[in-house]
């Protein structure tokens, strides 16, 4: 049904489909009940009700829309300077399908249309289009919502995936986990294996809030077919104007009547015997030494190799955030070999290690190196960063390997309410997750609760982890939870 007006340059077309009243029945129910049946029926045919915006000349925007149903007596164009659906301007444009509107100097305008019938009952809004005005030239252009599929990208890794968005997002409502009161809402990102089920992991956001890394907890992804979903919702990834993700990258938010506008990617991880270099996930607070587990004061941060029986030579770089972790030294552990290179750049946060003449590795997970490290006293509480293994070469590049990146959260292990102290409330929160009453901790909505409170490091939250915290609160000696 799209037809361009003759005066409109064709290159400037963009299309956006209706926000669908039928897809959100609970929100719409109250107002819909006041409308004529004819109009309700019309707006419930979603795929045919769309609005387009086109650039025309400086500070003017021509809007066009489709309305192929019968029964509309006219249309009202609504515009405002925020994407809230409460618009400051309403113009009754009559029974036409386009309108050219001179725009004020506000940097962004958000507009939508409603149809009305003979009784002046209005339909729900169409989709919304955003028009930005260049502050120097005054020229109008469409401002598409954020996406990962058109100008962004999603890339699977050995231990999860990376997502890069087209524009910065607002991170305030993001969560993978939540408490029973449900205020965090459903998980905004999920990774589900067809046979292995939901993958437990954590999100580390990029410093520019334009991307993130999903890190599986405990090792690389098992062979399976995975479905990755990034939710398009108002409490998920929204742009700086509050508009949800354009999951399918077609320039519209929330456009799929049946399935919403979530981003989805299905990818397959095949069986592999290639060696894996791993560094784990942990929580330690400001000023604490990092020994994993804390009960072994020489443990440091172990760097492990699995499937390593053919490995003779290892070369890699570890990237980390030196404001959150001080690495003091690197030493060989269980495997034997020659540490021919060890450089620690504490300013850039880069460690380069080369181990030659390696013997003693098997296919079981074996500790190759230990990093002696501590958390700086001024590291911001609750901050986190990825321990990024890169430039990996096994046997001088002759053997393909995989990297299993790690995660550090700046928090005392088990301080699940993030108040910087141990109390019985921390134990209660661990218990609630162990009983599956909560899926995680409200203070850490993007971090797998295992990372924050698995005191005995067995990969599960259970009654023994609760007991450990209870004993610590009673000031008993608990080597798993170091003092601070």
Instruction: Candidates 71, 74, 168, 185: give the one binding Ca ion (CB under 5 A).
Output: 185
At residue 266, φ and ψ (nearest 5 deg) are -105, 125
CA gap 341, 125 in Å, rounded: 64
Q: Applying CB under 5 A, which part among 237-245, 255-263, 323-331, 379-387 lies near Ca ion?
A: 255-263
CB 444 within 8 A of CB 211: no
At residue 142, φ and ψ (nearest 5 deg) are -70, 145
CB 414 within 8 A of CB 469: yes
For position 417 contacting Ca ion by CB under 5 A, the verdict is yes
Residue numbers 317-336 binding Ca ion by CB under 5 A: none
In the complex, minimum distance from the CB of residue 130 to Ca ion, in angstroms, rounded to a whole number: 14
In the complex, minimum distance from the CB of residue 135 to Ca ion, in angstroms, rounded to a whole number: 28
Instruction: Candidates 120, 419, 437, 483: give the one binding Ca ion (CB under 5 A).
Output: 419
Q: Which is nearer to Ca ion, 233 or 354 (CB)?
A: 233
| Closest alpha carbon to 268 in 307, 306, 228 | 228
Q: Applying CB under 5 A, which part among 262-270, 353-361, 423-431, 435-443 lies near Ca ion?
A: 423-431
In the complex, minimum distance from the CB of residue 425 to Ca ion, in angstroms, rounded to a whole number: 6
Residue numbers 87-116 binding Ca ion by CB under 5 A: none
Q: Which is nearer to Ca ion, 40 or 143 (CB)?
A: 143
Cα–Cα–Cα angle for 460, 463, 467, rounded to 5 degrees: 120
CB 241 within 8 A of CB 83: yes
Q: Are strands 402-404 and 276-279 parallel, antiparallel or unpaired?
A: parallel
Q: Which is nearer to Ca ion, 173 or 442 (CB)?
A: 173
Q: Applying CB under 5 A, which part among 125-133, 307-315, 397-405, 452-460 lies near Ca ion?
A: 452-460
CB 106 within 8 A of CB 133: yes
Per-residue x/- marks for Ca ion, 457-476, CB under 5 A? -x-x----x-----------
CA gap 317, 194 in Å, rounded: 33
CB 424 within 8 A of CB 417: no
Block residue for tokens 């066009």:
64
* Interior/surface letters 394-413, b for 16+ CB within 10 angstroms, e for the rest: bbeeebebbbbbbbbbbbbb
In the complex, minimum distance from the CB of residue 31 to Ca ion, in angstroms, rounded to a whole number: 24
Q: Which is nearer to Ca ion, 117 or 235 (CB)?
A: 235
For position 248 contacting Ca ion by CB under 5 A, the verdict is yes
Q: Applying CB under 5 A, which part among 58-66, 69-77, 389-397, 446-454 lies near Ca ion?
A: 446-454
Residue numbers 120-159 binding Ca ion by CB under 5 A: none
Instruction: Candidates 250, 315, 388, 480: give the one binding Ca ion (CB under 5 A).
Output: 250
Q: Which is nearer to Ca ion, 357 or 456 (CB)?
A: 456
For position 456 contacting Ca ion by CB under 5 A, the verdict is yes
For position 255 contacting Ca ion by CB under 5 A, the verdict is yes
Which CA distances in Å does 161 have to 70, 193, 202, 227, 427? 47, 14, 11, 11, 32
Q: Applying CB under 5 A, which part among 134-142, 191-199, 218-226, 415-423 lies near Ca ion?
A: 415-423
In the complex, minimum distance from the CB of residue 455 to Ca ion, in angstroms, rounded to a whole number: 6
Instruction: Candidates 235, 319, 365, 372: give the one binding Ca ion (CB under 5 A).
Output: 235
Q: Applying CB under 5 A, which part among 57-65, 340-348, 450-458, 469-477 lies near Ca ion?
A: 450-458
| Closest alpha carbon to 39 in 99, 103, 108, 120 | 120
Interface positions with Ca ion (CB under 5 A):
173, 175, 185, 188, 235, 246, 248, 250, 252, 255, 261, 415, 417, 419, 421, 426, 454, 456, 458, 460, 465
């Amino acid at each position: 049904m799209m037809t361009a007006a003759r005066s409109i340059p064709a290159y400037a077309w963009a299309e956006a489909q209706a926000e669908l009243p039928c897809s959100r029945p609970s929100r719409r129910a109250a107002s819909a009940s006041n409308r004529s049946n004819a109009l309700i029926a019309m707006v419930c045919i979603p795929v045919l009700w769309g609005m387009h915006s086109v650039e025309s000349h400086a500070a003017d925007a021509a809007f066009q829309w489709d309305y192929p149903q019968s029964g509309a007596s006219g249309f009202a164009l609504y515009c405002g300077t925020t994407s809230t659906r409460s618009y400051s301007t309403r113009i009754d444009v009559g029974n036409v399908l386009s309108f050219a509107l001179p725009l004020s100097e506000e940097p962004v305008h958000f507009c939508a249309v409603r149809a009305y019938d003979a009784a002046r009952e209005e339909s729900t809004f169409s989709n919304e289009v955003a028009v930005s005005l260049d502050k120097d030239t005054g020229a109008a252009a469409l401002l598409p919502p954020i996406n990962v599929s058109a100008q962004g990208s999603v890339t699977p890794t050995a231990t999860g995936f990376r997502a890069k968005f087209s524009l910065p997002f607002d991170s305030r409502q993001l969560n993978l986990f939540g408490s029973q009161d449900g205020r965090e809402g459903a998980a905004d990102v999920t990774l589900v294996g067809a046979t292995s089920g939901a993958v437990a992991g954590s999100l580390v956001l990029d410093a520019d809030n334009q991307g993130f890394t999903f890190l599986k907890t405990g090792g690389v992804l098992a062979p399976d077919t995975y479905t990755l979903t990034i939710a398009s919702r108002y409490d998920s990834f929204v742009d700086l104007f509050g508009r949800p993700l354009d999951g399918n990258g077609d320039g519209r938010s929330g456009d799929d009547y049946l399935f919403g506008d979530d981003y989805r990617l299905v990818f397959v991880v095949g069986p592999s015997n290639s060696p894996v270099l791993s560094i784990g996930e942990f929580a330690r607070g400001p000023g604490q030494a990092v020994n994993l587990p804390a009960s072994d004061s020489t443990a440091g941060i172990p760097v492990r190799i699995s499937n390593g029986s053919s490995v003779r030579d290892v070369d890699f770089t570890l990237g980390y955030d030196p404001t959150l972790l001080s690495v003091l030294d690197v030493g060989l552990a269980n495997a034997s070999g020659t540490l021919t290179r060890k450089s620690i750049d504490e300013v850039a946060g880069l460690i380069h290690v080369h181990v030659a003449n390696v013997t003693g590795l098997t296919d079981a997970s074996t500790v190759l190196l230990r990093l002696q490290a501590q958390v700086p006293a001024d590291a911001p509480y609750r901050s986190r960063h990825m321990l990024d293994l890169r430039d990996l070469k096994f046997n001088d590049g002759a053997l393909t390997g995989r990297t299993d990146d790690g995660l550090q959260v700046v928090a005392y292990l088990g301080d699940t309410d993030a108040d910087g102290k141990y109390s019985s409330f921390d134990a209660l929160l661990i218990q609630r997750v162990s009983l599956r009453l909560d899926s995680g901790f409200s203070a850490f909505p993007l971090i797998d609760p295992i990372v924050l409170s698995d005191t005995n490091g067995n990969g599960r939250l259970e009654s023994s982890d609760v007991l450990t915290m209870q004993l610590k609160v009673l000031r008993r000696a608990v080597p798993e939870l170091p003092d601070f």
